[in-house]
């Protein structure tokens, strides 16, 4: 056994021994639940007594972490909530956009605003420049599709010819993590999230407030995956399924493994053009496929990481073996591998307050805190979406995808509609993901 595995084995052994001695104690998840219930009761008691406790985000250190990667879009008739104080803000028409993620916009000749929140990329055009992508979508809205390289200009105007329809068809095949707002001159909105809806769209009943987190939208409802939100200037709200019946899916349906591999590699490269790539690595094929897609562009400073909960020894050998497998693979390929401990942050800490402000009912604070230990310029490559094989699995995006958002940027190589279409139509008995994972080079 290598020295690295010796050290990990020793840590696991110690954790297992500790688990035996504290078997009667509360588990980490239950401790968190108890704290949550107590804190909720305290808030209710304060409200009943007329007190107005200072929100945790009033602490600038907490505010710097809370709602990382998030956004809030509101009608100017709605006062800004205190939580967005200090967020970068831009007003377009009768809407204010508050964003903890990059905001890019482009105006159409008809006075519409194409707004992109997040990090979009266009695999077909080889673009990671959000401004260029927004400009091209504005051209699509205007019907100016003769310009070479316009985002899916060949199919954008199939269907009704309505600018909303054209833009959603063009944007639907973008990769990266993003949320699109097409704001009309009269205040109407069309909102489209990325393929996995990795930046949730919560909206108030009248559409006056739209945000990335449930805690930002009072009495909000979340937009389902593969759906479009439409808000009229009179604040009538309509949620409808995203229908792309323009024939573009046929190419993906008949795709070969080679086409899948080529697109995944290209997408992964665009996602990591800036920042320090950190592959979230386990012993499973999904993360191995991400690593294989990243390897052609791997740099010396890039790394892999695995989060490990020492108290997971209570659950058996599975978590430890998962860690061993990831560590052995990284060692075999000569890639730096970091093991980050998944433990609760100190009670009353800045991170705990930021997490609880962002996700009041969240139960993955330990894994979020583990990711907080990574360098802030990390671009985490997460394998969410790799499990897709039908519509139901497409929509089952794990919440842990967003655990890293408080600390760094999280990128999803499988979050591309054409890739997901390919996974849904791969030949029976075949797994493109497993096949790519098997292509990892053997050790020397």
Is there a domain that residue 14 lies in? no
CA distance 272 to 257: 23
**Domain final position from 241, 276, 293:** 241
Residues 368, 421: one domain?
A: yes
Position 23 scores a pLDDT of 39
Position 145 scores a pLDDT of 61
Q: Which residue, among 439, 387, 421, 441, has the nearest Cα to 260 in the 3D structure?
A: 421
Residues 296, 420: one domain?
A: yes
Average pLDDT (316-321) is 83
What pTM, to 2 d.p., does this model score? 0.85
Average pLDDT (152-170) is 69
Tell me if 241 sits within 8 A of 226, measured CB to CB: yes
Residues 113, 206: one domain?
A: yes
Residues 432, 400: one domain?
A: yes
Average pLDDT (96-109) is 97
Residues 236, 261: one domain?
A: no
Tell me if 328 sits within 8 A of 440, measured CB to CB: no
Confidence tier at 20 by pLDDT (50, 70, 90): very low
Is there a domain that residue 277 lies in? yes
Written as six digits, the tokens of 94 are: 């009768």
Q: Please state the domain count of the chain.
A: 2
CATH number for the domain spanning 151: value is 3.60.20.10
Average pLDDT (144-167) is 58
- In sequence order, what are the beta bridge partners of 263? none
Is there a domain that residue 329 lies in? yes
**Domain final position from 186, 217, 241:** 241
| CB neighbours of residue 341 within 10 Å | 13
Is there a domain that residue 370 lies in? yes
Is there a domain that residue 443 lies in? no
Residues 137, 162: one domain?
A: yes
Confidence tier at 6 by pLDDT (50, 70, 90): low
Average pLDDT (165-173) is 95
Residues 129, 235: one domain?
A: yes
Position 155 scores a pLDDT of 47
CATH number for the domain spanning 270: value is 3.40.50.620
Residues 331, 417: one domain?
A: yes
Is there a domain that residue 41 lies in? no
Is there a domain that residue 341 lies in? yes
- In sequence order, what are the beta bridge partners of 103? 117
What is the biggest distance separating any 2 CA atoms in the chain, rounded to whole angstroms? 71
**What is the span of the domain harbouring residue 406?**
249-437
Which is more confidently placed, 137 or 243?
137
Residues 232, 274: one domain?
A: no
Is there a domain that residue 354 lies in? yes
Confidence tier at 251 by pLDDT (50, 70, 90): low
Average pLDDT (296-303) is 97
Q: Which residue, among 30, 66, 28, 62, has the nearest Cα to 308 in the 3D structure?
A: 28
């Amino acid at each position: 056994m290598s020295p690295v595995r010796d050290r990990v084995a020793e840590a696991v052994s110690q954790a297992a021994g500790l688990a035996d001695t504290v078997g009667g104690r509360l588990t980490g998840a239950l401790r968190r639940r108890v704290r949550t219930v107590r804190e909720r009761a305290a808030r209710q008691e304060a409200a009943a007594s007329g007190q107005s406790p200072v929100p945790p985000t009033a602490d600038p250190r907490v505010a710097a972490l809370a709602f990382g990667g998030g956004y809030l879009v509101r009608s100017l008739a709605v006062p800004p909530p205190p939580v967005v104080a200090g967020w970068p803000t831009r007003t377009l028409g009768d809407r204010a956009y508050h964003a903890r993620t990059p905001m890019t916009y482009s105006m159409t000749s008809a006075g519409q605003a194409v707004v992109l929140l997040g990090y979009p990329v266009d695999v077909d055009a080889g673009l990671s420049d959000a401004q260029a992508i927004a400009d091209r979508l504005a051209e699509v809205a205007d019907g100016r599709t003769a310009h070479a390289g316009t985002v899916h200009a060949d199919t954008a105007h199939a269907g009704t010819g309505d600018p909303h329809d054209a833009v959603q068809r063009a944007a639907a095949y973008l990769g990266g993590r993003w949320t699109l707002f097409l704001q009309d001159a009269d205040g109407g909105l069309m909102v489209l999230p990325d393929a996995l809806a990795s930046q949730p769209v919560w909206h108030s009943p009248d559409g006056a407030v739209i945000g990335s987190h449930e805690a930002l939208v009072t009495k909000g409802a979340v937009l389902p995956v593969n759906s479009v939100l439409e808000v009229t200037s009179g604040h009538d709200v309509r949620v409808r399924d995203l229908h792309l019946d323009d024939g573009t899916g046929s190419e993906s349906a008949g795709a070969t493994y080679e086409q899948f591999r080529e697109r995944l590699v290209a997408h992964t490269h665009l996602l990591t053009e800036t920042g320090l790539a950190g592959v979230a690595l386990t012993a499973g094929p999904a993360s191995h496929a991400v690593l294989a897609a990243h390897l052609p562009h791997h740099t010396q400073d890039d790394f892999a990481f695995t989060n490990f909960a020492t108290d997971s020894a209570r659950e058996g050998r599975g978590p430890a073996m998962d860690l061993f497998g990831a560590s052995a693979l990284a060692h075999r390929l000569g890639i730096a591998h970091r093991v980050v401990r998944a433990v609760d942050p100190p009670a009353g800490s800045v991170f705990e307050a930021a997490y609880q402000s962002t996700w009041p009912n969240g139960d993955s604070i330990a894994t979020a805190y583990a990711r907080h230990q990574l360098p802030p310029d990390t671009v985490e490559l997460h394998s969410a979406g790799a499990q897709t094989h039908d519509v139901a699995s497409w929509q089952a995006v794990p919440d842990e995808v967003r655990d890293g958002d408080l600390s760094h940027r999280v990128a999803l190589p499988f979050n591309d509609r054409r890739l997901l279409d390919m996974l849904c139509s791969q030949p029976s008995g075949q797994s493109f993901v497993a096949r790519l994972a098997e292509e990892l080079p053997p050790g020397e």
